[in-house]
Structure 1
Amino acid sequence: MASTTTWEPGVQPGHQSGGGKTFLGHPRGLATLFMTETWERFSFYGMRALLVLYMVAGTNHGGLGMKVALATAIYSVYNAMVYLLALPGGWIADRFLGARKTVALGGAVIMIGHFLLAVPVKASFFVGLVFIAAGSGLLKANISTMVGHLYDGPNDPRRDGGFTIFYMGINLGAFAAPLVIGTVGQSVDWHLGFALAGVGMALGLGQYLMGTRHLSAKSDVVGSPITAAEKSALLKKGAFWVALALAFYAVVVLTGHFTISWAVWPLSIAGIAIPVLVFARFKRDKELTESEQSKISGYIWFFVVAAVFWMIYDQSGSTLSVFADDNTNLSLLGWHFPSSWFQSLNPLYIMALAPVFAWLWVWLARRAKNPSTTMKFAIGLLMIGASFFVMMLAMAAASGGVKVSPLWLALVYLVQTVGELTLSPVGLSVTTKLAPAKYASQMMGVWFLAVTAGDCVAAVIQLGLGDATGSTVYFAIQGAAAIVAGVALVMYRKNVIRLMGDVH
């Protein structure tokens, strides 16, 4: 979520205790948030590396014995809900608890969720996923904001460096998780792996609570406290919709029709419908100027492109994970490794390539050759489409039970990472630039909705194609769709640039 830079009267921005100690030249609180995020990402990506593999593993191997299509759809919807729930997560901090308490609550809920996954009971597994998604929404929406609170406004020269250090914590946790949790889960016991993810979150939560005194006082402020009347109305509406959902599912369960698809399909449809409703509300808003409405129209192009990108990119932990386990030779130069280790490639590539791309854009800008935002988005989309064409070739090479070289997946993840570095940081930037003043704080949440929409489209495709999920045709269709969308953006880029107005 976008970090806020306004302060309450009497609150000193960046204030912290600790005798002036610093962390790599930054406020001491950055160490607390860095380690919290590192451990949270360790738990999240470690569990994610096992999730689909556990669901498709046969019951004789301790898994749930699901079909690939259903398991990958559950994964897609779960990932979508993590990003969707970042919206209410930010709202809870703004209206009820403040960022500091909300992050602590989120960490506790995530920890409980992981330990629920560790219980070898099917119902406990799905309840655990709900807890992790809800807790991630609470934590993800606010921890980046708290990094911003540590600095004396947007012009503090240390600010960008602080976020860079924080970003490295994300990738360190994501890199280590599959190597540790993936190995334990696949080689020892699935549920022990899930428990280890819970231990990781417990360590993150523990050091967060011990280091909370180093955080800014701004992180305690409830920006817009909810009134008693608003709270009463909210409780009534919430109770109504919860009762309606419980009544509906009670009927489905009691009539013997309930399957997990009864949860996956409604969530998938909701994840696609909500962004549509959000943009419809923006376009109907008479308070927005003609220029702001034009920028919203331009932003819709970027949103759709981003949704297509994340639809493919987020399958790194689902269809690509299944391919790694079923169709890849898990030995390199005589050394055997678990299939979950492939999940460490993306954060490794990011840590290696992010500084290169940061330098590249500056180098091109100095020579007046820096690609426009639309071209960077198109390049990202073409790259992600190309990655699935590589997967199509890899799947064809694996026909007849052949185990292909791990270098196929290493190449796929490299191409996807290049696409991510071209599109994702630029998307964050253009979101803030095109946001109407009225919705400035909400637009970063809208950007997260692109992930939700993309993952939910992936879930619909997976459920619709059934046994064809993960086939050569499956990868070819989505790769072609991404490339067509990328070409369309290039062809219509002048129209998009015109809609963007004074934003470049």
Structure 2
Amino acid sequence: MASSLTKSSAPVNGPDKTFFGHPRGLATLFMTEMWERFSYYGMRALLPLYLVAEEGLALGATTAVAIYSVYVATVYLLAMPGGWFGDRVWGARKTTAVAAGIIMTGHLLLALPLNAIFYVGLLFVAVGSGLLKANISTMVGHLYDGPDDPRRDGGFTLFYMGINMGAFAAPLIIGTIGQTVSWHLGFGLAAVGMGLGLLQFLLGTRHLAPESSIVPKPLSPLERAATLRKAMVWLLVAVVFYGIVTLTGSFTLKWATVPLLVLGLVVPVSVLVRIKRDKELTATEQSKVSGYVWFFVAAAIFWMIYDQGGSTLSLFADEHVDNQVFGWEFPVSWFQSVNPVLIMALAPVFATIWLSLARKDKEPSTIAKFAGGLALVGISFFVFMLPLVASGDGKVSPWWLVLIYFCQTVGELMLSPVGLSVTTKMAPAKYASQMMGVWFLAVTAGDAVTGLVAEAGVNLDRTGFVALEAALAVLAGFAVYMYRGKVKQLMGDVR
């Protein structure tokens, strides 16, 4: 993962060129990320609905959930190598520009009414998103004078608002066009959004820090040759293996999805094991890594349930939710705008609450916040059981979904920002950059579990399995809180 979130850099703009009091380059990155999230969340809102639609790919619900999970897991899986690519090969600025081009190409492929290249388009979007995700955040860090710059936290808050603005608008615009006019035109609008983001990024690069175009730790000629050789070997193995599977007539979609989902579990575990076994780490660092495992597992369980808001809940809404308000019908994809609008509304409230409690020395600990986040995401699925039971062959009120998303959003605000913070605090100095990638891998692990369960043919919108997931999250939250003393001991001086 790129390390520049903690690097020092002098501000690149004078007082006459600011963006709400921040360096002018923040506007460029804000708009780039907003348009990238617009394209990403718009396509994601359409994806599960298109996969099951008769005029789409007409797949079963379990297969659709598996594909959706593979896609999301792959995006976050590639965030770590994406950061590595920016650090070692092209630098953050060039990597971001190339990534945006790859994403736009992927959306254009999805816009073509050719089922044969649909999955190629998804792969392009996933690869591009993974490359961009780490590096654009890196460049935000470059704009400030080190971690102690008083504007730094506010800058990342503004950047985060850009993410949610794009995520909020996308289902309303892309979802409406995709569901009411043409699925492929909707995917095409996502390409337009990314194209606008790329254009303004290229026009605004002069406002970015010079450091963003520097490769922090470039590969030596020997390292470059070795890396290329290993990549070619693995590519050759994959081509030969899948060539044999295809020629023998044995290929099905599972030959692609299952290996990717297994990889989504193996990679996070192997990275944590590799860090834990490093003999160069001090006893204190080893202890913190052991403590971090608790947060990683908790986050994986959280995202396993949370990310089903775009798959299991979306497909349930398509079949069983009365998407009308006062007689006016709206596209099902609009439900995907509920979370970002709640984030924008509630994030300042939570920031104020934590600050107020901190002044009174009553702010909940990191462990308590994690436990609360897990409990709330579990409660959201206990709530989900009520419309599941009530729906039968009929329709239920859309307010059930709003309530579910509300519980999940409050849980997210308790767990996600805190998880990012505790990751930076508990990371061994040697792995300061990579540990942020490990945090993203918790999303990969959670979605990989969901995908593997779906691949096994389990209907994820059945009351028994929903209850099982809900109970798992609540019990995990309870376990984290009950063992808070042990975890605090492992965390050392981190609170």
Q: What range describes the TM-score normalised by the shorter chain of this pair?
A: over 0.9
Residue 190 of structure 1: CA displacement? Answer: 0.3
1:35 to 24, 31, 36: 31
2:346 equivalent in structure 1: 353
Residue 6 of structure 1: CA displacement? Answer: 3.4
Residue 429 (structure 2) pairs with residue 437 (structure 1): yes
After superposing on structure 2, the runs of 4+ consecutive aligned residues of structure 1 that deviate more than 3 Å are: 1-7
1:464 equivalent in structure 2: 456
Kindly indicate whether the alpha-carbon contact (under 8 Å) linking 1:16 and 1:213 is maintained by their aligned counterparts in 2.
Answer: no
Alignment map for 1:236-275 (pairs within 5 Å): 236-275=229-268
Alpha-carbon distance in structure 2 between the residues aligned to 1:101 and 1:180: 30
Residue 52 (structure 2) pairs with residue 56 (structure 1): yes
Residue 191 (structure 2) pairs with residue 198 (structure 1): yes
2:419 equivalent in structure 1: 427
Kindly indicate whether the alpha-carbon contact (under 8 Å) linking 2:378 and 2:472 is maintained by their aligned counterparts in 1.
Answer: yes
Instruction: Provide the secondary structure at the position in 1 that maps to 2:252.
Output: coil
Alpha-carbon distance in structure 1 between the residues aligned to 2:7 and 2:276: 28
Residue 474 (structure 2) pairs with residue 477 (structure 1): no
State the AA in 2 paired with 1:294.
S
Alignment map for 1:93-104 (pairs within 5 Å): 93-104=86-97
Residue 20 of structure 1: CA displacement? Answer: 3.8
Residue 5 of structure 1: CA displacement? Answer: 4.2
Change (3 A) 1:5 1:484: closer
Residue 490 (structure 2) pairs with residue 493 (structure 1): no
Cα deviation, 1:100-156, whole Å, max 9, x if unaligned, reads: 100000000000000100111112110001000100011101111101111122222
Kindly indicate whether the alpha-carbon contact (under 8 Å) linking 1:119 and 1:191 is maintained by their aligned counterparts in 2.
Answer: yes
Alpha-carbon distance in structure 1 between the residues aligned to 2:64 and 2:310: 11
Instruction: Provide the secondary structure at the position in 2 that maps to 1:256.
Output: coil
Residue 189 of structure 1: CA displacement? Answer: 0.6
Alignment map for 1:56-455 (pairs within 5 Å): 56-58=52-54, 62-399=55-392, 401-455=393-447
Cα deviation, 1:178-205, whole Å, max 9, x if unaligned, reads: 0000000000010000000000000010
Instruction: Provide the secondary structure at the position in 2 that maps to 1:281.
Output: helix
1:26 to 22, 30, 37: 22
Change (3 A) 1:305 1:369: same
Kindly indicate whether the alpha-carbon contact (under 8 Å) linking 1:73 and 1:463 is maintained by their aligned counterparts in 2.
Answer: yes
Alpha-carbon distance in structure 2 between the residues aligned to 1:357 and 1:28: 28
Residue 289 of structure 1: CA displacement? Answer: 1.0
Kindly indicate whether the alpha-carbon contact (under 8 Å) linking 1:13 and 1:217 is maintained by their aligned counterparts in 2.
Answer: no
The answer to which of 337-346 and 283-292 deviates more is 283-292
Alpha-carbon distance in structure 2 between the residues aligned to 1:452 and 1:419: 19
Cα deviation, 1:388-414, whole Å, max 9, x if unaligned, reads: 111111111111x11000000000000
1:14 to 11, 15, 35: 11
Kindly indicate whether the alpha-carbon contact (under 8 Å) linking 1:29 and 1:216 is maintained by their aligned counterparts in 2.
Answer: yes
State the AA in 2 paired with 1:119.
L
Residue 3 of structure 1: CA displacement? Answer: 3.6
Residue 494 (structure 2) pairs with residue 503 (structure 1): yes
Residue 469 of structure 1: CA displacement? Answer: 2.6
Alpha-carbon distance in structure 2 between the residues aligned to 1:53 and 1:423: 29
Kindly indicate whether the alpha-carbon contact (under 8 Å) linking 1:304 and 1:450 is maintained by their aligned counterparts in 2.
Answer: yes
Alpha-carbon distance in structure 2 between the residues aligned to 1:164 and 1:174: 15
Cα deviation, 1:144-180, whole Å, max 9, x if unaligned, reads: 1101111122222221111111111000000000000
Cα deviation, 1:413-450, whole Å, max 9, x if unaligned, reads: 00000000000001011101111111111110010000
Kindly indicate whether the alpha-carbon contact (under 8 Å) linking 1:117 and 1:194 is maintained by their aligned counterparts in 2.
Answer: yes
State the AA in 1 paired with 2:487.
V
Alpha-carbon distance in structure 2 between the residues aligned to 1:311 and 1:201: 28
State the AA in 2 paired with 1:418.
V
Kindly indicate whether the alpha-carbon contact (under 8 Å) linking 2:106 and 2:122 is maintained by their aligned counterparts in 1.
Answer: yes
Runs of 5+ in structure 1 lacking a partner? none
Residue 16 of structure 1: CA displacement? Answer: 4.8
Kindly indicate whether the alpha-carbon contact (under 8 Å) linking 2:343 and 2:409 is maintained by their aligned counterparts in 1.
Answer: yes
Cα deviation, 1:21-45, whole Å, max 9, x if unaligned, reads: 2211211111111110110000000
State the AA in 1 paired with 2:146.
G
Cα deviation, 1:49-74, whole Å, max 9, x if unaligned, reads: 0000000111xxx2101010011111
Kindly indicate whether the alpha-carbon contact (under 8 Å) linking 2:7 and 2:141 is maintained by their aligned counterparts in 1.
Answer: no
Instruction: Provide the secondary structure at the position in 1 that maps to 2:494.
Output: coil
Kindly indicate whether the alpha-carbon contact (under 8 Å) linking 1:13 and 1:218 is maintained by their aligned counterparts in 2.
Answer: no
Residue 4 of structure 1: CA displacement? Answer: 3.4
- The size of the alignment, in residue pairs, is 494
Instruction: Provide the secondary structure at the position in 2 that maps to 1:4.
Output: helix
State the AA in 2 paired with 1:374.
I
Alpha-carbon distance in structure 2 between the residues aligned to 1:3 and 1:342: 35
Kindly indicate whether the alpha-carbon contact (under 8 Å) linking 2:7 and 2:147 is maintained by their aligned counterparts in 1.
Answer: no
Residue 380 of structure 1: CA displacement? Answer: 0.3
Residue 474 of structure 1: CA displacement? Answer: 2.4
Kindly indicate whether the alpha-carbon contact (under 8 Å) linking 1:14 and 1:217 is maintained by their aligned counterparts in 2.
Answer: no
Cα deviation, 1:311-360, whole Å, max 9, x if unaligned, reads: 01011110111011110001011111000000000000000000000011
Residue 13 of structure 1: CA displacement? Answer: 2.6
Identity %: 63
The answer to which of 264-273 and 153-162 deviates more is 153-162
Residue 486 of structure 1: CA displacement? Answer: 1.1
